[in-house]
Homo-oligomer: A and B are copies of this chain.
Amino acid sequence: MDFNILSSLATKSKSKVLLVVLDGLGGLPGEQGLTALEAAETPNMNKVAEYGECGFHDPVSPGITPGSGPAHIGLFGYAPFKYNIGRGVLDTAGTPFVFEPGDLAARLNFATLAADGTISDRRAGRISDEEGKRVVKKLSEKITEIDGVKLLLQHVKEYRAAAIFRGAELDGKLCDSDPQKVGLKPLEVKPLTDEPDPKAELGAKLANEFIRQAKEVLKDEPKANFLMMRGFDVYDPLPNFSTMYKWTATAVAAYPMYKGVAKLAGMNVIERGQNTIEEEVQIVEDIWNETDFVFLHIKKTDSAGEDGNMSKKIEVIEHFDRVLPRLLALKPDVLCITGDHSTPCTMKSHSWHPVPICINSAVNRIDNVKKFGERDFMQGGLGRIHSTDVMPLLLAHAGRLKKYGA
């Protein structure tokens, strides 16, 4: 769907839309022959399905397993292949850091370097948030620019931080310095471009010089005596989700990356504590009157899937189901419950399988689905849609899209 056309059809309204993303929701049958979603007892979600319209969405393209970035970008209506955001920008966007167009961002992992010059711990003993912040502060005081290019450092979480070069013409097509395995030496950052590219060459030069200087600053640290750079990416602003759809949009998410992707899209992001599902729901209740659209992100369905922990994934889904009545009490005009991608416990990873989606509004078609579950949803009225069709559908159900053409 062309953004210019979609935006030209979008119109203001008092209707409210709640998009709930249970991360990694879709699954595959486990030993008992059921998926986590099929096995979970979800009386409240089932009611939403019974009066809603159900089906599946393909996050990026059939067969393609998405990272969290492209999966959310698609759900927000952006073509995932066109708007591909690198890890450096994605991770940093979840912090209070404010990007400027053209910034070259990279993710930093603090690490432990052994005396022989090899990496002995790729996470510096998983140092605490406090330790991570202290080390970032130490670096920030010593290194503020490299070769005249401004360097900004931002702590993200524990051993993770971000480095941002600002004020030069830079390209993010650069390889990681992380060798991905302990016992290996860190790699030199090099351009990945097919043709010689001065912007990428300058980026590589700055990165390598920063790593050299950081090593010197950190040399007496017991654990975080080194750092690695990965996920280089230049920040290029996305079309603004709020402007485009002509509403105020708010994101409620526990994890920085999801706050990040929402912020990149132009949503208001709630920064205060939202570590449990209850805390997240409390925030949704608190802000409900001040926003038209809420993106509520529940992380732990995905974590359980990645751990291959079927009973935990069932538990998280049931946990969400128990708090769902509080969200229903807000009477959203449109409620959509879906995932960003599938994370089958049997695969312990993201996968390409289409993601269950249910849209519930006063104007949805009713299908025969009465229960949340992959097999049930296969009989649903939505069929198999693309993730980028979700936002236009939610806007339509909310009465927020004008007719196209005469």
Interface residues of A (CB under 8 A from B): 1-2, 5, 9, 28-29, 33, 56, 60-70, 80-81, 84-87, 90-91, 231, 344, 346-347, 349-354, 363, 365-368, 374-375, 378-385, 389, 391-396, 401-406
Contact = CB atoms under 8 A, between A and B. Distances in A.
B396 A365 contact: no
B351 A66 contact: no
A66 B368 contact: no
Contacts of A87: 406
Those 5 A-B pairs whose CB atoms lie nearest each other, nearest first: A63-B392, A87-B406, A383-B384, A67-B405, A70-B405
A391 B62 CA distance: 9
Contact of A350 (B65, B66, B347, B403): B403
Contact of A81 (B5, B28, B402): B5
Contact of A363 (B346, B379, B383, B405): B346
Nearest to A257: B406
Nearest to A27: B365
Contacts of A5: 81
B378 A379 contact: yes
Contacts of A91: 406
A62 B385 contact: yes
Contact of A366 (B375, B382, B406): B375
Contact of A365 (B2, B9, B353): B353
Nearest to A400: B63
A354 B53 CA distance: 12
Contact of A405 (B2, B29, B69, B374): B69
Contacts of A381: 374-375, 378
A368 B380 CA distance: 13
A1 B66 CA distance: 14
Contacts of A402: 65
18 contacts: A9-B64, A29-B365, A33-B366, A61-B389, A62-B392, A63-B396, A66-B403, A66-B405, A67-B404, A70-B404, A84-B405, A91-B406, A347-B363, A351-B363, A366-B375, A368-B378, A379-B379, A384-B384
B70 A29 contact: no
A65 B404 contact: yes
Nearest to A349: B403
A84 B2 CA distance: 14
A354 B63 CA distance: 19
Nearest to A366: B29
Given A363-B347, A379-B379, A385-B384, A60 B374 contact: no
Given A64-B401, A344-B363, A351-B396, 13 more contacts: A1-B64, A56-B383, A60-B404, A61-B389, A64-B392, A64-B396, A65-B404, A67-B403, A67-B404, A87-B406, A366-B375, A367-B378, A384-B385
Contacts of A85: 405-406
B353 A393 contact: no
Contacts of A81: 2, 5
B65 A352 contact: no
Contacts of A383: 56, 354, 378, 383-384
A325 to B, nearest CB: 25
Contacts of A353: 365
Contacts of A395: 63
Contacts of A394: 63
Nearest to A26: B365
B351 A389 contact: no
A299 to B, nearest CB: 16
Contacts of A84: 405
A260 to B, nearest CB: 11
A331 to B, nearest CB: 19
Nearest to A368: B375
